[in-house]
Structures are given as C-alpha cells and as structure tokens.
Chains A and B, each alone.
Chain A
Amino acid sequence: MGGLQVIAFENVGFNYGGGELLSDVTLRLAPGSFHFLTGPSGAGKSTFLKLAYAELRPTAGRVSIFDRDARMMTRDDVAMSRRRIGVVHQDCQFLDHLPLATNVTLPLTVANRTGDAQDLTALLDWVGLGKLADALPPSLSGGERQRAALARAIIMSPDVILADEPTGNLDWEMSLRLLTLLVELSRMGKTILVATHDMNLIRQAKSQLAARVLRIQNRRIQLAGADL
C-alpha cells in the first residue's frame, strides 16, 4: 500500500442542494485501522461513506482515495478504485435473477478475473452461507443478505471495507457473528469503517480490538469519548 492513508478527507463539505449536510470534515483512514461512524439517523453517515467510495463528490474540500483526488478521477478510475474498496450497502442490492454464488463472485466477473474464484466455497462457509450457494437473493433473509453482501465485498480481497449499518436488520446473535467476521478481516490487515448507531455492537467490538469511534454531530465529525 502506497500512502499513509487509504482514504483522506480534507476540509470536506457536502450538500445535496439544500443546506450543508457535512462541513469542514478532516479525517484520515490509516491502513489497517478500524473505525466506527455513529450519529443519529439522517446525520449523514451514508453520505460520508458515499463520499469515501466516490459515489458522491465533495462540494467543498478534497477527498483522496488511494492518494488520488476524487474530483480528478474518471469514471474508469472510480471503477478501478471500487475493486480495492469493498462496500456493504445499507440496503444490500443483488442481481435478483442470479444465484447467490454468482452474485458473490460478481466483482471478479466484472473485473474479468473469474479464474480467482476457487476460494468461493471457503468464503461462503466462512460467512455461513455454504448451503445457500444456489439460492436466489430474493429468497434470502435479512441476515443472509447482509452476510452475502459482506462476502461480495471481500471476494476481491480489497484493502478497504466500508459497511453501512451492516447489522441494521439483524438480531443480536447475528450481529455478533457479523462483527466477528469484521474483526477477523481487521486482523488480516484490512482498513475497516463501519457506520452504525448500535452502541452495544461498538462496545462489543472495543472489547476485541482497538477501534476508534467517530460521531457526526452538528455537521462535523468528532472523535467520540471512551465513555460510550
């Protein structure tokens, strides 16, 4: 990995056309770091993540992704950067006409790297979906979809994993299971950012590894205290 940060925000502001949603955000995600991003619903967590994977461009300041200014990136550059950033969407979207296994290997397919899919069975077993390889996405439960989304996000062995409320519609047991997967990925050296407003999950994580907690408050991002 080249630079000292994989994703960096410098004085970033963003608005959807109304008032400014995020102002003067400065933040660096160092390689191998684990961050939580919290804040009330509507605070801009998803927006922040979209800025981080160049789905949105900042309206002020500068977002660098792998040391490249997001505003200078062409559409192909964005596509290439997504191969290094695994995203677990808030509302996990799949190609509903294709079986789970094909959906999970989709990042390899579109990158013409289908040959690298040997580990698929191991990966599906790891997220506990080994028996559902041939199931169509609409038949999966919320928890299964979240884990499938995680599997799809990591199949390219990305440097960064961005997860938007990955436990949003999971029960506690399932949430813990997903957290365990994320902790394992972190130990492999991945840079991880998880947006969530689940404080229990954050406490649970902090007992397992050193995670920083960021909070969106008054349009700014602050480091939250240790007294969560």
Chain B
Amino acid sequence: MKLTLPALLAPDRQADRVVPPSGFTAQLTSFTAGAMAFLAVFALALSLASGRLAERWASALAGTATIRISAPPEQLDTQVATVLALLSTTPGVASARALDTAEQRALLEPWFGPDLPVDALPLPRLIEMTEASPGYDSQGLRLRLSAEAPGAVLDDHTRWRRPMAQAAERLRLLGGLSLLLIAGATAAMITLAANAALSANLPVIRVLRLVGAKDAYIVRAFVRRFTLRALTGAGIGTLIAMIGVALLPRADEAGAFLTGLGFQGLGWLLPVLLPPLTALVAFAATRYAAFRTLKGLT
C-alpha cells in the first residue's frame, strides 16, 4: 500500500472508520490550519505589496532629477547653457533638457491657476535630466555645478527614496520569513494534535497491529484524516482572508503603501496555493508523528 498524497485523497471509508472520530483534535487541527492560512494570506499580501513598492521605488531611483537655476535674468540663459553643456559631458546622465515656459506654467498651474504671468516673474529655470545606468555621481556633479554655474542646484529628489526602497525590500523579506514561520508553527501544532490523537488511540492501534495491519495502513488512517482537516481548515481561512483583502479600500496608482496591500492579477492565484500547501505540511507532520509512535510499539 503506497502512502502518497493522491492515494490519500481517494475515498476509503473502511480505513477511515477504524480510527474513532476524535472531536477535539479534529477541531484543533482545522482551527490551527484555518488561522495559520488566514495569517499566511496577509503575510503573502504584505510580501507582494512591499515587493511591488520596492520595485517602483527602485525604478524611480534610476529615474529623473531636476536642476533648478536661480540667477539674475541676464545670466539665466548663459547658466542654462553652461549646465546643459556640463551635463552632456557628465558620465551617467542619459539626457538633459531645459523646460520651456509652457511646461513651467503647466507645473505651476495647480497652485497658482492658469493666468500666471510666468514671463514677468523671476522664476528659476528647470532642467530635467534622465539618469543612465549606472547612475551619475551626484556628489561630483554638485561640486562641478557650484564651480561653473553658481545659481544651479541639483534637486536629487530620489535621495529620500533610497531608504524607503530599502525598507520596502526589507519588508518583503520579513513577509517571506513570516510565511516560513507560519509554515513551521502549523507543522508544530499539527504534530502536537496528531501526537495527542495517536496516544488517545493507542488501544485502537494495538488492536489493528494484532489483527495484522501494517504500519502504513495505520499511518494512513491518521494521516488521511489530518490532511483532509488541514485542507478544509486552510481553505476556509484562506477564503475569509482573501475576502478581507479584496474588501480593503483601494487607491489609484499613486496609492500609499497600505492601500496598495492586496493582490494584483495573477497574484490572486498565490493564496489559492495555501490550502494544498497546508495539507502537504499536515501530511508530512502527521506521517512523521505516526511512524514515530508506531516504532515504539511491538
């Protein structure tokens, strides 16, 4: 008699019935599997969301920077030209261009309305630069700017994002680690429940041995029961958690981190893997516990 997962799931009412139903450990196993699957869904969502965030911020790091030039009006054009020339020879800068008045107006419009007389105001000029990869040396660029165009300030707005991207990366790792811990705790709890069921049923096991049952047969009766309970419990836990995640308020693209917590596209398929994985953990844990108990019996 092979003890494989597919063989386990084939209905075998006879083998099921030889072990008496054990209400308490049954409920304990289902509850544990359900609670752990519930937590695992959120750990998974956290891990996926922070992964997306880390990616977005990391790509923003390789994105753009702005150079702002404030100077007396007569020097403005010269300095813009100087900076553009300087950038064209700076390694790590893919492209640079000065924003024209229309673009500047568009940038300011949200704050000052459409009628802003941009030309009449002593506004700084903006140069938008795109970073190549590998990026430029921002420290070196600052030094050269201050030497050649004193009115130019490098607004390296990606700077503050770097620790955020690292934090998101770290959060993704922690989410993964949580998943591992949840799997470990599930295995431990199910092993405990299986051991309790095995000790409670020692007389049954003795009778089965006496009438010629092989270890695999006895193990199967227990393993099958715990695997199916874990599968059911985890299924319910996963379902509830997924509904919870789906009902989280959602913000648009620019959405803050918390509202980005959820699954996207194929990501919804990942939590569906949790019940079979929990069943697999229960299968391995119960099988281990059962064979160990039997080895101690004649």
Interface residues of A (CB under 8 A from B): 54-56, 75-76, 79-80, 82-83, 87, 89, 93-98, 102, 106-107, 109-112, 114, 152, 156
Q: Which of A89, A97, A98, A109 contacts B210 (CB 8 A)?
A: A89
How many residue pairs at the A-B interface have CB separations less than 8 Å? 59
Write the nearest CB–CB distance from A8 to chain B, whole angstroms. Answer: 20
Q: Could you write out 19 A-B pairs with CB less than 8 Å apart?
A: A55-B298, A76-B215, A79-B213, A80-B212, A80-B214, A82-B209, A82-B210, A82-B211, A83-B212, A89-B210, A93-B207, A93-B210, A98-B17, A102-B17, A106-B18, A109-B18, A110-B214, A152-B211, A156-B212
The residue on A at minimum CB distance from B204 is A95
Cβ contacts B1-43/A at 8 Å (1 or 0 each): 1000000000000110110110000000000000000000000
When distances are taken between beta carbons in the complex, the residues of chain A under 8 Å from B212 are 79-80, 82-83, 107, 110-111, 156
A106 touches B211 (CB 8 A): yes
A83 to B208, alpha carbons, bound, how many Å?
Answer: 11
Best-buried of A87, A95, A111, A156 by chain B (most CB within 10 Å)? A95
| B: interface residue count bin | 20 to 34
A98 to B17, alpha carbons, bound, how many Å?
Answer: 8
When distances are taken between beta carbons in the complex, the residues of chain A under 8 Å from B213 are 79, 110
The residue on B at minimum CB distance from A106 is B211
A76 touches B298 (CB 8 A): no
Write the nearest CB–CB distance from A49 to chain B, whole angstroms. Answer: 12
When distances are taken between beta carbons in the complex, the residues of chain A under 8 Å from B215 are 75-76, 79
Cβ of B250 < 8 Å from any Cβ of A? Answer: no
Write the nearest CB–CB distance from A199 to chain B, whole angstroms. Answer: 28
The residue on A at minimum CB distance from B206 is A93
Write the nearest CB–CB distance from B263 to chain A, whole angstroms. Answer: 44
A144 to B103, alpha carbons, bound, how many Å?
Answer: 100
A80 to B1, alpha carbons, bound, how many Å?
Answer: 13
Cβ of B136 < 8 Å from any Cβ of A? Answer: no
Q: Which of A54, A80, A106 contacts B207 (CB 8 A)?
A: A106
B298 touches A110 (CB 8 A): no
Cβ of B73 < 8 Å from any Cβ of A? Answer: no
A107 to B24, alpha carbons, bound, how many Å?
Answer: 29
Cβ of B203 < 8 Å from any Cβ of A? Answer: yes
B18 touches A95 (CB 8 A): yes
The residue on A at minimum CB distance from B12 is A112
The residue on A at minimum CB distance from B20 is A97
A87 touches B20 (CB 8 A): no
When distances are taken between beta carbons in the complex, the residues of chain B under 8 Å from A109 are 14-15, 18
Write the nearest CB–CB distance from B225 to chain A, whole angstroms. Answer: 14
Cβ of B217 < 8 Å from any Cβ of A? Answer: yes
A195 to B145, alpha carbons, bound, how many Å?
Answer: 106
Given A79-B215, A110-B18, A110-B217, are A94 and B210 also a contact pair (CB < 8 Å)?
A: no
